[in-house]
Amino acid sequence: MKNKGNQKHLTFEQRVDIEKGLTENKSFAEIGRIIGKDPSTVSKEVRLHARIKERPDSGYTNPPCIHRKKCKMTGLCDNQCGTMCKICKKQNMRCIDVCPAYETAECEKLKKPPYVCNGCGKKTHCLMPRMFYSSKYAHDEPCN
């Protein structure tokens, strides 16, 4: 009888290989072959340990609103203002701060594999909330 041991946990090296594979845009099946695990294990690992990466400071450009393309909102600064709020240049007139209808847009790519931005070519300049898989974070996180 072959002793498989406890197959529940991944080693740090396997997690590093997962992170590297995601950065190289490899599929879960390819990553699974590299680390000797089922693709579903890789998928579960990524979804369980993916984390939002915060922007460096609050002065960073806001994430876009889901209503940005059709928005006609005016007058949030005062009733006499006729300028559309989304093009307003006044200081402290950010949609995220003043508009009651503001809703942060989410990247559609995060809803399907690989569920993270590690290998995305737009990750450095994308304004939407970004998710990343980090082998160090995943390994240091306590088990559930």
Per-residue pLDDT tens over the stretch 33-87: 999 999 999 999 999 999 998 776 655 677 888 998 898 888 888 777 778 887 7
DSSP 108: G
The neighbouring-strand residues paired with 132 are 51
CA distances to 17, 42, 136 from 13, rounded to whole Å, are 6, 13, 10
114 upstream amide cis, omega within 30 of 0: yes
Closest CA to 11 of 139, 143, 100: 139
Phi, psi of 84 (to 5 degrees): -65, 135
Tokens of 2: 């072959």
Closest CA to 9 of 100, 132, 139, 101: 139
**What is the predicted pLDDT for the residue at 142?**
76
User: Three-state SS for 77?
Assistant: coil
Closest CA to 22 of 108, 110, 115: 115
Single pTM value for the model: 0.77
Residue 123: pLDDT over 70: yes
